[in-house]
Amino acid sequence: MSDYRWNQLDNARGYDIAAEHVHPHYREVQDVILDALPLAPDEAGWVIDLGGGSGRLAERILDRLPRASVGVVDQSEAFLTLARERLARFGERAFFLQARLQSDWSRDLPAAPRAIVSTSAIHHLDPAEKQRLYQ
């Protein structure tokens, strides 16, 4: 997987810097996800961000829900490095898992999630992979 371009820290960092400009309605999509989460601000619970990249959405979830924890699942160690930097202030409330979405990543979660979210990853899977993911 070392040939995977997002395993290069410079590529991941460049994408992270440009993300809000590359994706139309970037913040608005995140706002919709935040509003749909099944946790009240005073509730504890796990949220998983699949293909969570540099942790931008995870950061917003953790800011909004001070008792929640978020697991960032991504196949790119470079993106997870950025996520660890971004989410360091949340301590143990942030969990990081390097895994492909096509793998059985759920077996490595520390707890059952209350919600699973994703903004920029699932559309890259082929139809059969999406079907397996949603099962």
Q: How many CB atoms lie within 10 A of CB 58?
A: 27
Distance, C-alpha 135 to centroid of its chain: 19
Mean residue pLDDT of the chain comes to 89
Q: In terms of CATH architecture, what is 5-134?
A: 3-Layer(aba) Sandwich (3.40)
What are the extents of the domains in the chain? 5-134
Residue 133: predicted pLDDT: 80
Residue 61: predicted pLDDT: 98
In total, the chain counts a number of residues equal to 135
Mean pLDDT value of segment 71-99: 96
- For residues 73 and 101, the answer to whether their CB atoms sit within 8 Å is yes
Q: Residue 45 corresponds to which amino acid? A: G
User: What is the pTM (predicted TM-score) of this model?
Assistant: 0.85
Distance CA 70, CA 65 (A): 10
Distance CA 97, CA 95 (A): 7
